[in-house]
């Protein structure tokens, strides 16, 4: 069987119209008579014709493609954000091109060059930022850039961030209000801007308050790292009675080590706070108090900015607040607005 795609000329021949008439029929707002439109649509349906949006977009110098450049896409928070972004793009009539990278600048640079080669209209970056010159190349090629939870600034790009440092500060206040007097910061060694912000806020508040505190930073941002952190923090003689973990995924690992390996009761003997509000945080087995990242709002506002045509404007930034979600991993007596 022939694998040749059905062309607009095939539709025109069957409908007895010109190739230009077929083009007008499938162009929003173009003028074509009702009778001609009906004949063309009938022929297109009979042949199984589909408009080549990519080809027509290239003619207008607009492909409708938006690259989503991300690492660790299997983690709950990242997969949730990618799902929200792809859904928002589809609703806007755009097509998402997901490029999976590792955490290195070299990997992100290759991803950016891939995006440019596919003539994508824009790129949303959820990973390590490439070199300044490459970002400028993207912008010179007419691409718009959205940087999510990054600390770099690029002329003509949108930076979307949450107040990570404030969450770290609030975590200290919540643990103190819960009666904790020896608290801990548990984080990975990933050293991303988001994690650094949460760590900085915690250290600042803990130091200012004079509370006795310790810190452990190890491994990748994963459940397994949480288990390792749990053993390092909780098996020591002077173990903490309250922990702020910079992600929920690691907090779940700490909780499981505390309860099932060390016999520590939560929240009676240990209060625990996470960050992200992944789906697992709300499971009955965890009931983790956490700071919710407004994923749907981040996705919606990022796509709205891309569609607004403001990509060439001066530096823009959207600062979005997190929401404290109180569950049962913190000792009673804490007011949610602390």
CATH number at residue 277: 3.40.50.2300
Domain residue limits at 19:
8-51
Question: Residues for the chain: how many in total?
Answer: 338
Determine the pLDDT at residue 79. Answer: 92
Q: Is residue 69 part of a domain?
A: yes
CA atoms within 13 A on the CB side of 304: 8
Is the residue at 56 inside a domain? no
| Tens digit of each residue's pLDDT (9 = 90 or more) over 107-135 | 667 767 777 777 788 888 886 555 555 56
Q: What global pTM score does this model have?
A: 0.78
Looking at the structure of the chain, the number of domains it has is 3
Same domain for 169 and 288:
yes
Residue 182 lies in a domain: yes
Instruction: Give CA–CA dist 208/103, Å, rounded.
Output: 33
Which has more confidence, 61 or 244?
A: 244
Whether 192 and 260 map to the same domain: the answer is yes
| 156-214 pLDDT tens trace | 788 898 999 999 999 999 999 999 999 999 999 988 889 999 999 999 999 999 888 99
Strand boundaries in the chain, DSSP class E = 65-71, 95-101, 122-125, 144-148, 157-162, 182-187, 212-217, 242-245, 271-276, 289-292, 316-320, 323-325
């Amino acid at each position: 069987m022939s694998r040749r795609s059905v062309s607009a000329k095939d539709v025109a021949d069957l409908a007895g119209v010109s190739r230009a008439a077929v083009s007008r029929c499938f162009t929003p707002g173009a003028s074509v008579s009702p009778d001609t439109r009906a004949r063309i649509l009938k022929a297109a349906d009979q042949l199984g014709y589909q408009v080549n949006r990519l080809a027509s977009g290239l003619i207008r110098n607009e492909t409708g493609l938006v690259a989503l450049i991300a690492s660790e896409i299997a983690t709950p928070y990242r997969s949730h954000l990618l799902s929200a972004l792809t859904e928002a793009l589809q609703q806007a009539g755009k097509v998402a091109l997901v490029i999976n990278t590792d955490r290195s600048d070299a990997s992100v640079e290759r991803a950016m060059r891939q995006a440019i080669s596919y003539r994508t209209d824009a790129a949303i970056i959820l990973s390590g930022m490439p070199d300044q010159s490459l970002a400028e190349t993207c912008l010179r090629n007419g691409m718009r850039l959205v940087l999510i939870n990054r600390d770099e600034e690029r002329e003509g790009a949108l930076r979307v961030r949450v107040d990570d440092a404030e969450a770290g500060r609030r975590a200290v206040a919540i643990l103190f209000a819960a009666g904790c007097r020896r608290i801990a910061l548990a984080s990975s060694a990933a050293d991303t801007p988001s994690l650094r912000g949460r760590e900085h806020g915690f250290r600042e508040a803990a130091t200012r308050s004079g509370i006795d505190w310790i810190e452990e930073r190890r491994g990748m941002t994963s459940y397994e790292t949480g288990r390792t952190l749990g053993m390092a923090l909780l098996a020591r003689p002077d173990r903490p009675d309250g922990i702020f973990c910079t992600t929920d995924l690691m907090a779940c690992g700490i909780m499981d080590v505390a309860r099932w390996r060390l016999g520590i009761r939560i929240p009676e003997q240990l209060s625990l706070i996470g960050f992200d509000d992944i789906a697992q945080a709300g499971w009955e087995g965890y009931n983790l108090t956490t700071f919710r990242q407004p994923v749907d709002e981040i996705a919606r506002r990022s796509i709205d900015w891309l569609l607004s045509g403001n990509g060439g404007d001066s530096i823009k930034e959207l600062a979005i607040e997190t929401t404290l979600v109180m569950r049962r991993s913190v000792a009673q007596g804490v007011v949610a607005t602390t």
